[in-house]
Every structure is written in structure tokens, then in C-alpha cells.
Structure 1
Amino acid sequence: MRFDSTPAHTSGDEIDWVTWGVRLEGPSIFASSSAELKALSAVDGKKLWSVGAQGEPKNRERLGSQINSAPAFIQKGGVSAVLTAFDIVVPGAGTTAEREAIELTAVASDTGKRLWSATVERPEVEGGQEPVLVGSDGKTAVVQVAGSFDQAVLGISLESGRTLWTAKEFLAGFVHGGVVVGRASKGSDNSIVALNTADGSQAWSNYKDARIGASVTPLGKGLFTAPVDPDRTVLLDAATGKPPAGSDGTLPGDPADAQCTYDDRDTIVCTEHFGVGSERNRVSALDATSFKELWAIDSEDTTRLVPAVTTAWHGAVYAKTSNGPVILDARTGQDKELSPGAAPSQINGYIGLGRPGPGQGSDVVAFRPVS
């Protein structure tokens, strides 16, 4: 799908990629900050609705983004709802001092009507930043508070509004299929771990020598990548913590690091890096069922430029090179469109969302499809 190179609209003062978690869903753009949740029309950028925290916003600076901080979708009373976590302060009274808290809020995705909210105690974390909604399985919301040296993860009931469990020494990455996947660190043990969202118990643990400081990255289809040692990143299944059936987990180039995305059809596209001191880069594609390599573009081959992939969607890989944006065929790796207009990072049938050029700010830029 090509795009008009002239933006349909830009976010202006409404939202940006730095202080807002942005999610494109159908004909709307949903965005959350530490104190506000809003929806914009994907077609023309007009604000559809906005809901603020009921409590007093803390207005704390967001800690950078190891996990997805965009709002989550759930069903609440049979209604499609958008869920987010606000960072608030509960005022003191009498001899009781004010305290920091987390306010969970769910609103109807079409109207912005507040459907449910709950306030829970914020865990004490040294140098703690604003809470981030990791995700939800529809029954439990998983919220993380990260700090300078540690973090705390909460499982909060979407029925009672109470904190069901708290996990320390665990860096959450994403929620899928009743588990929250992340990295647990205790002493010399640095494992890839999944906790059950219902009660916080351990669902599985693997790769106890995983790279210190690294995070797990979901790519869709219940799969994720994880750096399991200093020089290797592998493909794993969120249900088991093991390689998916038909794969030994090894990515085609056996990279030190990889960022992968699923095109929502049948292909996984990965950008691969090969460690400190290596100038080699590689983009490859795997069949999403057999996990066999379909094609690769390697910087060691001087006949092709290694593209900077922005996303993959419905059989197409959107990317940029020094020649400008380009679309590759996800199954063959061949150039499919040399003048696609733009290379957005989020795409659906209504719009593509991307960023301005280098040094031009952090606005959310929308590009209208033309074919």
C-alpha cells in the first residue's frame, strides 16, 4: 500500500511519540499519558474525546520505553473499552500525609465515557518513575513502576480494583495469553520468566544466564525475541518460554540483537545486529509457520543497501534507505515499490502513522493511503 507523501495531518499539540503511548486501532488513534487518555480521528486528526485522571496528576517525567506504554483494549460490560494507568497524588487530610497512587481507568472506545476506575497504592521504588500499563488479559491489568535500580510489577483485578499480587526483581515486557513475560534478576540468576496474570505465580523460567539489562520484545503471534546471552538473541514462544514448534529458536543470522515484527499474515521480518565492534547489519524474513528463512539483505553484500525497517504489514515491508522510503515484498525481499510516499511505523487500512524527518521533532504524522 502506497501513501501520499504529503501528510494528511500532524498531531501538533495533541500528542507526540515521546510523552504519549500511541496506538492505531481502526479509524482512530488512541494515546495515553500519565494524566490523560484521548482519541483522535485517524482520517483528519480531530480530537474525538479526552478523559483525564480523576485524582491529582503527579506530572512526573516518563521513564523511557522498554515496554509498550500505549493503552490496552478490553471488554467492560460488553463494551469495547480502552484501559490506561494514571500517575496521581492522593491529598493528605489531618495528620495523614499525601501519598502517591495509581489510578486505572477504562473508557468506552467510541464515546470516551468513563466505564470503570480504581485507585491502588503505588509501590515504593527508589527513583520510581510514572506507572506504565504493560498490558491486560481482560481480567487483570499488569502495571509496572520502574526505578533507578529496581522495579515493581502489580497485577490489578479489573473486577474488584484491588492489587492481586506484586512482583519485585522482575522487569515486565508484555502480556499474552494469561501470562506476563519479562526478565527476572536475583543475584547471579538473570532469567527469562513468565508470571501468571491471575496470581503472579511463575508460569515458566528459562535461560538463567540471559543478558543483564536486556528486555524481551514481543513481535506478535504470541512470539517474542530475547537476548539469552551476550552474543545471541533467540525467538521464543510466550506460552512456554521455549522455541516455537518447528524452530530451535535460532534466528537466521544468529545475531547478538534483533528487532522483529510480524506482518499479520505469514511472515516475520527481523533487523539483525552482530554485537559491539561489528559493523555488519542484516534484514531477513522467516516464514511464520515453518520459521525457515525466506530471504536476507546483508551489509556484506555491497549490491544492496540494508533498509531500516519501520514495520511489516500484510505482505509488505516498509523501510527507509539513503535513497528514501521503499516497500519490499515480505515473501521475496525484492523491491516492490520505489516511491511509496512514506514508511510509517503503524499501518492499517485507514492511515499510516510515522515520524517527522531527523531533527524535526516528535509529532505523530499521518499519511493517507493512495493505493
Structure 2
Amino acid sequence: MALHKQTAYVALPDRVLAVDTASGAVTTAATTEAEPLFKLSPNLENDLPAPFVTEAESPLVLTTFFVHQPGAGTQAPRAFMEFTAIPTAAGAAPWRLPMDLPEWAKESQSPVVATVVGASGKVAVFTLSATKSASTTTTYAVDLDSHRVLWTKDLFRAASVTGGIVTGEKWDKKGGDYTAAAGYDLATAAEKWRAEDRTNVDVMPAGPHLILATAVNKDDYRVRYRQLLDPATGQVKRDLPDDLPGSDCAHDGAGTLVCTGRDTVWAVDDTSGALRWQLPDKNAGRIAPQVTAVWHGRIYAKATDGPLTLDARTGADLPTRPGLAPYLVNEYTGLALSETDRSLTAYPTSG
């Protein structure tokens, strides 16, 4: 699910639903033009990646459907992807870009998934990967103006788009692992930088100015790396200390990157990578709450005695406690999930 203003967009195997969070009204924003390859599980669980909403004057909701065209006459049946862009403006029609699946995806024994990792200007990037095979990954760049594929790159798993650079991990066929973080030009796919070869490399987005890269020394598995890098150059901005586990990070939109791990929360400056605070703090007698969302300098979280908010810059508990801990929030709406029946409720926000 993705949130844009007062609308929540929900990806399903054959359509994207638009939910008006003010009224609860549900409409279909887009559907596939062919038979979907996958369907919802019998218990209605939906593990598809969320749609991606571009940050532009005329935003687009981006997703990819996997579809099947039955054979007819001499025409053989065909499985392919529909990269779909849905304008958020009222009355504007979606457009679709059909794309052939790569051979590895057609032969994959495990389900394939397409995840839009980012967009900058008029170019969006998504990865196609097999859920149970790390080596089978292809990254695509799509021109949102001309509705065409700019480039594809096999054995590269994109993680983020920052400015005009796509960053991610390179797969080494010989080593059978992701061995290097790398950055490529968004428009041309020309390599801009490549980090030192390591093993178990994992690159994650870390706000508008940083990426988080973790890895293991290929000659000594006891040596581990957790570094904040400049996505434009690959330069190490900060080596993170060993007592900061976790790599699930979210940018608050106001200069702070908030990351969580098991019973750990910490925050860094989104440009320099300087550590601002961390929890737990034994000296202050403070524990780490369970973070659910961050937004505009505020962290929403859960503690044993209920929901709470923290100042993202300082980590201090804010005096006014909310009645809920939303999982998605913006200037219009907060979406919270019930702990009992897993129902979703929308609440108006301010500021």
C-alpha cells in the first residue's frame, strides 16, 4: 500500500485499488489488460510490493503486473509484464508498457516479483527478481515520458535512485554472491563507481543523500562492514559502530534518517551520517520502542504501555501521546492496523 495525499493505493495481482481515506470509498485505479499470472491466496493474503508514487508536479503511481496472453490460431501463448503508470490527477487515464520476461524468469521455479525502487525526473527504476533465488535479478529503467525501456541490467539488484544515480549490488557469477556495491548513471546505465569487492553485500536506501551498505570481508568472515555511502561517488560518509544493529531505515522528510533493528532504534544526520542518538540508553534508563512510521521530524512507535511519539532529531519522548501508532502517515492521513482483527483504519492528521 502507498499513500498519496488522501488516497491509499493498494496493489493486487490484477489491479490497483484507490481508497479514499476520508470516506472509505474504493475505486479501481487501473486493471491489467490480460489474464493475470498470479492470484490472491485463498486466505486473501497479499504479499505484493507496494506501488510507488513519484514525486513530481503530476505524480504517477507505478506498479507492474504479470500477465498471460492465451494462444490463438498460430499465435503462441505469451507471458509478459505490464509496467503500469497511473496518474493521480482526476480523470487521467493510466498507460501501460508491455515487456517480455527474461528467459530466467520464464524458467524460474519460484515466483517472480517486480519492485519499483525509485524514480528521478522522468525515469523510474524497478527490479525483477525470483523470490527464492538471489542470483536471478534484472534491473529496468523506464522513460516515463516516451513510455519505453531505457536500459536493462542483468545480475544487478537496484536498491535506490538518488538524483541521477541508481545504486545497488552487483552479482558475481564466479563467486556466487553479491560482491560489490555500485552506482550507475540513471539515463545511460554507465558505471559511475564500484566499491571494493566483499561478500554478502546488501545495499539499502537511506534517505535523499545516503545509502546504507552492509558486507563481510571476503578473506575474513569475522570482519563485517556497515557503512553509510555517498550514492553519487561511493565515498564512505560514516562507518557505523557494531552496537547499531538493524538496517530498516526511513527518512523523516526533515533531515533525519531513523533506523531500527531488534530492540534498537538510532538516528543519523541525513547528509553527514553523524549519529544523533540511539536507544536503548542504559545510562538514562530508556528502552527502544517498536517504530511504526516516521514523518516530518516525528517518530511514531509502540511501547508496552501504548503508542508514543519521539522527536526524530533528539530521540526525546514527546509530551503528547497519540491514541495510535500509524504504519503509514502523511499530512492528510494516518493508517493504523488493529492488533486484534488486522483491520485497517484511517485517521485525519494535521501538520
- Residue 257 of structure 2 corresponds to 268
2:191 pairs with one of 181, 191, 202: 202
- Residue 239 of structure 2 corresponds to 250
The aligned amino acid for 1:368 is P
Q: Normalising by the residue count of structure 2, what TM-score does the alignment of the two structures yield?
A: 0.82
- 2 CA distance for matches of 1:218 and 1:64? 24
The aligned amino acid for 2:287 is L
- 2 CA distance for matches of 1:130 and 1:258? 22
Equivalent residues of 1:88, 1:100 under 8 A apart: yes
- 1 CA distance for matches of 2:117 and 2:274? 31
2:127 pairs with one of 135, 139, 144: 144
Q: Deviations over 1:91-150 (max 9, x none)?
A: 323233211111122232132532432211111222351433333334333232212321
CA shift in 2, pair 1:333/1:169, >3 Å: same
Whether 1:131 aligns to 2:114 is yes
**SS of residue matched to 1:135:** strand
- 2 CA distance for matches of 1:46 and 1:312? 26
- 2 CA distance for matches of 1:210 and 1:298? 30
User: Does 1 or 2 have the higher relative contact order (CA < 8 Å, sep 6+)?
Assistant: 1
CA shift at 1:339, angstroms? Answer: 3.0
- 2 CA distance for matches of 1:139 and 1:118? 15
- Residue 330 of structure 1 corresponds to 312
**SS of residue matched to 1:337:** coil
1:155 pairs with one of 135, 141, 159: 141
- Residue 237 of structure 1 corresponds to 230
2:209 pairs with one of 222, 225, 235: 222
CA shift in 2, pair 1:195/1:91, >3 Å: farther
- 2 CA distance for matches of 1:40 and 1:254? 41
The equivalences for 1:30-45 within 5 A come to 30-45=9-24
The equivalences for 1:240-319 within 5 A come to 240-243=233-236, 248-251=237-240, 255-272=244-261, 281-298=263-280, 300=282, 303-319=285-301
CA shift in 2, pair 1:42/1:293, >3 Å: same
- Residue 119 of structure 1 corresponds to 98
- 2 CA distance for matches of 1:194 and 1:61? 36
The aligned amino acid for 2:52 is P
- Residue 96 of structure 1 corresponds to 75
**SS of residue matched to 2:200:** coil
**SS of residue matched to 1:50:** strand
- 2 CA distance for matches of 1:267 and 1:135? 19
- 2 CA distance for matches of 1:255 and 1:210? 20
Q: Which moved more, 1:179-188 or 1:288-297?
A: 288-297
CA shift at 1:53, angstroms? Answer: 1.1
- Residue 176 of structure 1 corresponds to 162
Superposed CA RMSD: 3.0
CA shift at 1:369, angstroms? Answer: 3.2
- 2 CA distance for matches of 1:236 and 1:307? 27
Equivalent residues of 1:354, 1:365 under 8 A apart: yes
Equivalent residues of 2:18, 2:28 under 8 A apart: yes
- 1 CA distance for matches of 2:300 and 2:215? 28
The aligned amino acid for 1:271 is T
CA shift at 1:309, angstroms? Answer: 1.5
Q: How many residues align?
A: 332
Gaps of 5+ in 2: 217-222
Whether 1:367 aligns to 2:350 is no
Q: Normalising by the residue count of structure 1, what TM-score does the alignment of the two structures yield?
A: 0.78
- 2 CA distance for matches of 1:138 and 1:123? 27
Gaps of 5+ in 1: 1-21, 274-280
Q: Which moved more, 1:316-325 or 1:226-235?
A: 226-235
CA shift at 1:365, angstroms? Answer: 3.1
CA shift at 1:254, angstroms? Answer: 5.1
